[in-house]
Structure 1
Amino acid sequence: MRPAELEIARQWLAARGLAGVTPTPALAARLTVRRRARLGAAILPALFLVGTALVYVSVLPIRSGPQERWSFVVLTALVAGLVLGLSLLDRWVRRVDQHAGAQLPRRAAHSVRPGWRTVLGVPRAVLLASIYAGAAVLAVAALAVRDGAARYPAVILLIGLGGVAIGTAVQLRHVLTHPVVAADEGTLRADFLMRVEDAREVALPTVVWSLPVVSVFDTGLDPWNTGWLVFIVLSATALALITFRDARKALAAAA
Structure 2
Amino acid sequence: GRPAPMLALSGSIAALLLTQTLLDAWVRRVDRRAGATLPRRAAHPVRLGWAALLGRPYAVVAGATFACAFALGVSALAVTEGTARYAAVVLLVAVTGVALVAVLQLRETLARPVVAEDEISLTADVVMRIEDARESYAPPVLWALPVVLLSGFAPGWWSAAAVGFLVLGVLALVAVHARTPSYAATARRAVGLR
Q: Deviations over 1:53-88 (max 9, x none)?
A: xxxxxxxxxxxxxx2221212222232244345445
Match of 2:71 among 137, 144, 148: 137
Provide the C-alpha distance between the structure 1 equivalents of 2:32 and 2:88, rounded to a whole number of angstroms: 41
Equivalent positions of 1:17-96 (< 5 A) are 67-87=1-21, 90-91=24-25, 93-96=27-30
Aligned-pair distance for 1:92?
A: 5.6
Q: Deviations over 1:144-184 (max 9, x none)?
A: 11123321111001111111111110110111222211122
Match of 1:167 among 98, 101, 122: 101
Aligned-pair distance for 1:97?
A: 2.7
TM-score w.r.t. structure 1 length?
A: 0.64
Provide the C-alpha distance between the structure 1 equivalents of 2:102 and 2:17, rounded to a whole number of angstroms: 9
What fraction of aligned residue pairs are identical, expressed as a percent?
46
Provide the C-alpha distance between the structure 2 equivalents of 1:185 and 1:139, rounded to a whole number of angstroms: 46
Q: Deviations over 1:232-255 (max 9, x none)?
A: 11111111121122357968xx9x
Aligned-pair distance for 1:130?
A: 0.8
Are the structure 2 counterparts of residues 249 and 192 from structure 1 closer, same or farther at C-alpha, using a change threshold of 3 Å? Answer: closer
Gaps of 5+ in 1: 1-66
Provide the C-alpha distance between the structure 2 equivalents of 1:241 and 1:133, rounded to a whole number of angstroms: 19
Are the structure 2 counterparts of residues 87 and 148 from structure 1 closer, same or farther at C-alpha, using a change threshold of 3 Å? Answer: same
> RCO higher in 1 or 2 (8 Å CA, sep ≥ 6)?
2
Aligned to 2:59: 125
- Code of the residue aligned with 1:107 in structure 2: it is R
Greater Rg over alpha carbons, structure: 1
TM-score w.r.t. structure 2 length?
A: 0.81
Aligned to 1:224: 158
Are the structure 2 counterparts of residues 96 and 172 from structure 1 closer, same or farther at C-alpha, using a change threshold of 3 Å? Answer: same
Are the structure 2 counterparts of residues 77 and 249 from structure 1 closer, same or farther at C-alpha, using a change threshold of 3 Å? Answer: closer
Aligned partners of 1:154 and 1:215 also within 8 Å: yes
The number of residues matched between the two structures is 187
Are the structure 2 counterparts of residues 238 and 212 from structure 1 closer, same or farther at C-alpha, using a change threshold of 3 Å? Answer: same
Are the structure 2 counterparts of residues 210 and 87 from structure 1 closer, same or farther at C-alpha, using a change threshold of 3 Å? Answer: farther
Aligned to 1:245: 179
Provide the C-alpha distance between the structure 1 equivalents of 2:26 and 2:163, rounded to a whole number of angstroms: 35
Aligned-pair distance for 1:224?
A: 1.3
Gaps of 5+ in 2: 189-194
Aligned partners of 1:215 and 1:225 also within 8 Å: no
Aligned to 1:98: 32
Aligned partners of 1:87 and 1:167 also within 8 Å: no
Which range is displaced more, 184-193 or 127-136?
A: 184-193
- Code of the residue aligned with 1:131 in structure 2: it is T
Provide the C-alpha distance between the structure 2 equivalents of 1:207 and 1:86, rounded to a whole number of angstroms: 18
Aligned partners of 2:151 and 2:159 also within 8 Å: no
Aligned-pair distance for 1:190?
A: 1.4
Are the structure 2 counterparts of residues 185 and 135 from structure 1 closer, same or farther at C-alpha, using a change threshold of 3 Å? Answer: same
Are the structure 2 counterparts of residues 81 and 224 from structure 1 closer, same or farther at C-alpha, using a change threshold of 3 Å? Answer: farther
Aligned to 2:144: 210
